[in-house]
Amino acid sequence: MSALTQSPAWRALQAYQTVMAQQHLRELFNRDPQRFNKFSLSFSDMLIDYSKQPINDETVELLLTLARQQQLEGWIARMFSGDKINSTEHRAALHIALRGQHPIVVDGVDVMPEVKRVLKQMERFTIAVQSGARRGYSGKMFTDIVNIGIGGSDLGPAMVTEALKPYWLNGITPHFISNVDGAQLTQVLQRLNPETTLFVIASKTFTTQETLANAHSARQWFLSHGGSEKNIAQHFVAVSTNQPAVEQFGIDAENMFVFWDWVGGRYSLWSAIGLPIALTIGMDNFYALLAGAREMDQHFASAPLEKNMPVMLGLIGIWQINFFGSSSHAILPYDQCLHRFPAYLQQLDMESNGKRITRDGEMVDYATGAVVWGEPGTNGQHAFFQLLHQGTQTISADFLAPCQSHYLIGDHHRMLLANFLAQTEALMTGKTETEVRAELEAQGMDTQVATQLVLHKVFPGNRPTTSILFKKLTPQTLGSLIALYEHKVFVQSVIWNINPFDQWGVELGKQLAGKILVELAEKASTSAHDASTCGLIDFIRNNQ
Ligand code: F6P
């Protein structure tokens, strides 16, 4: 047994779960009128309500004891001070420096002057593109930005630009190419004019197969649709930590925006990886995004644990995953602009905390990261909410919504919010057999028919949700919201004693793909794999 699961704090929580599991959330609300006040936190224009989670004062105390036992405050301080907490890669994890204002020293050097220099470089570049000082080869202004990247070099910028659509500048449309499936590149490029298209090749390592394949094909398309070699420099820029590889691709160092090994891919949207964001919404709005994240950083670094939003969100997740056995967590934004937020959080959370070896090199004997998934409300209500309400699994969910919409059309926003509130209430209260029977009788239904139907119409309720409300989805608020989840993931990693900043689990598939790529091009059938893989390779070959 691990030290964690043997620890007094862990055992106390295990014992207390059996107490809480016997109490319906409805009873908890009936018993304590202060429940909402006690179990909600507000910060800036954001509110988190976790009172619809199976907790009480005692649970919160026990969770905080666990956090202290795992030295959470010390780990937060270590992250902010630039310690090399990404231990398997011997790196700091300093996404907070990308939106920071104070010196942070790594290997004896303050990183902030470089951070500021690159931000200024981005600012100059975006102003040049937006003002027309920098144009395409035929003298026309750029109208389309194509970001070519994958994972953290795609999901963050893609999610943020979608979320901030109301802030898009006139005349510039962003596009995102990530998949090596040529369908995506082809479908985007066929709508574009090379004279007015700017490509941003985004890759931390500049070795990612998909990105390089897409970048080469984009260059080929540019050259075969009117552009020439000498125009490449005007139309292709790169964002990377790997200057030699960028130059080898044919992009001049002066058209390159750097970032650093202490920025994890999935934490990189605040760096030059955010260039397509800045090009789309303007640098002032990009700075507002950074400011929002910085506010959340300051809160995370200084608020007491019990009043600390990322800490409480993280601990509620621990309570669900480790003590109630939840293996999946739904992210349900009631905001169409946040439609890519679940996909973004999937990488952030699952690539960070999908680990089974502790920082001490031991196998865990407890669950770690949950499966993160979701869709915007109200669409999900007409698709998978049936399982949330009446299925056999209890799924914990985060509901997110802005109080104000950017889109003032009819009564839509009120309807959206009514649905948000109705769903979280319904999931919590449910509907008892007695209530269902009374309802059916009131409708005049025959008693025998009613008896057959009654159980189908019962809602057990007691389904845990956390509500996150904010005034309006502005760049600043979005920055805070993303940082909230970044830090929540970190909090959970500290409790689980795992390193959230590496991702060795993506390597094996990459290695095998390289080998199979060669085999797929060969004529003779292969016996170099298991029978299934060989059979699949043969089937593909025979059908091409
Ligand atoms: O394969 C996973 C991964 O390494 C992610 O962690 C990363 O965000 C993505 O690939 C893209 O990597 P890069 O930015 O180096 O192309």
pLDDT at 345: 98
| Distance of CA 151 from the midpoint of ligand 1 (Å) | 5
Q: What percent of the chain has pLDDT over 70?
A: 100
For ligand 1, atom 16, name the residue with the nearest CA: 203
State if residue 153 touches ligand 1 by the CB under 6 angstroms criterion: yes
DSSP alpha helix (H) spans, 21-94: 25-31, 35-38, 57-69, 72-81
Angle between helix 182-189 and 209-224 (nearest 10):
30
For ligand 1, atom 6, name the residue with the nearest CA: 265
State if residue 148 touches ligand 1 by the CB under 6 angstroms criterion: no
- Per the prediction, the chain carries an average pLDDT of 97
State if residue 503 touches ligand 1 by the CB under 6 angstroms criterion: yes
Answer yes or no: is pLDDT of 526 > 90.
Answer: no
pLDDT at 174: 98
pLDDT band at 422 (very low <50, low <70, confident <90, very high): very high
State if residue 506 touches ligand 1 by the CB under 6 angstroms criterion: yes
State if residue 271 touches ligand 1 by the CB under 6 angstroms criterion: no
What is the C-alpha to C-alpha distance for residues 227 and 212, in angstroms, rounded to an integer?
A: 19
Q: What is the mean predicted confidence (pLDDT) over 347-364?
A: 98
pLDDT at 410: 97
Is 306 a known active-site residue? Answer: no
Mutate to test the pocket of ligand 1, among 86, 154, 201, 205 (most ligand atoms within 8 A of CB): 205
- Listed as own residue / partner, the contacts of 404-407 with beta carbons closer than 8 Å and 24 or more positions apart are 404/471, 404/472, 405/335, 405/472, 406/166, 406/337, 406/472, 406/473, 407/166
Atom of ligand 1 lying closest to residue 150 CA: 11
State if residue 316 touches ligand 1 by the CB under 6 angstroms criterion: no
**Tokens encoding 260:** 């650093």
> Which helix (H) or strand (E) segment is 397 a member of?
strand 396-402
Answer yes or no: is pLDDT of 524 > 90.
Answer: no
Atom of ligand 1 lying closest to residue 210 CA: 16
> Which helix (H) or strand (E) segment is 125 a member of?
helix 112-131
- Per-residue burial over 79-107, b if 16 or more Cβ lie within 10 Å, else e, is bbebeebbeebebbbbbbbbbbeeebebe
List residues bridging with 202 in a β-sheet: 239
Q: What is the mean predicted confidence (pLDDT) over 34-45?
A: 96
| Distance of CA 259 from the midpoint of ligand 1 (Å) | 14
pTM metric for this prediction:
0.97
State if residue 147 touches ligand 1 by the CB under 6 angstroms criterion: no
Is 351 a known active-site residue? Answer: yes
Mutate to test the pocket of ligand 1, among 86, 147, 150 (most ligand atoms within 8 A of CB): 150
Is 382 a known active-site residue? Answer: yes
Q: In what order do the strands lie in the sheet with 236-240?
A: 173-177, 144-148, 197-202, 236-240, 256-258
State if residue 415 touches ligand 1 by the CB under 6 angstroms criterion: no
- How many H helices and E strands in the chain? 25, 13
State if residue 203 touches ligand 1 by the CB under 6 angstroms criterion: yes
For ligand 1, atom 3, name the residue with the nearest CA: 151
pLDDT band at 523 (very low <50, low <70, confident <90, very high): confident
- pLDDT tens-place string over residues 200-255: 999 999 999 999 999 999 999 999 999 999 999 999 999 999 999 999 998 989 99
pLDDT at 399: 98
State if residue 208 touches ligand 1 by the CB under 6 angstroms criterion: yes
Give a three-class secondary structure readout of 259-284: CCCCCCHHHCCCCHHHHHHHHHHCHH
- pLDDT tens-place string over residues 527-543: 899 999 999 999 999 99
Atom of ligand 1 lying closest to residue 153 CA: 14
Answer yes or no: is pLDDT of 136 > 90.
Answer: yes
Atom of ligand 1 lying closest to residue 351 CA: 6
| Distance of CA 161 from the midpoint of ligand 1 (Å) | 19
Q: What is the mean predicted confidence (pLDDT) over 278-295?
A: 98
Q: 116, 225, 510, 515: which one is catalytic?
A: 510
| Distance of CA 152 from the midpoint of ligand 1 (Å) | 6
| Distance of CA 201 from the midpoint of ligand 1 (Å) | 13
Atom of ligand 1 lying closest to residue 510 CA: 1
Atom of ligand 1 lying closest to residue 268 CA: 8
Q: 351, 355, 375, 486: which one is catalytic?
A: 351
Q: 382, 456, 507, 523: which one is catalytic?
A: 382
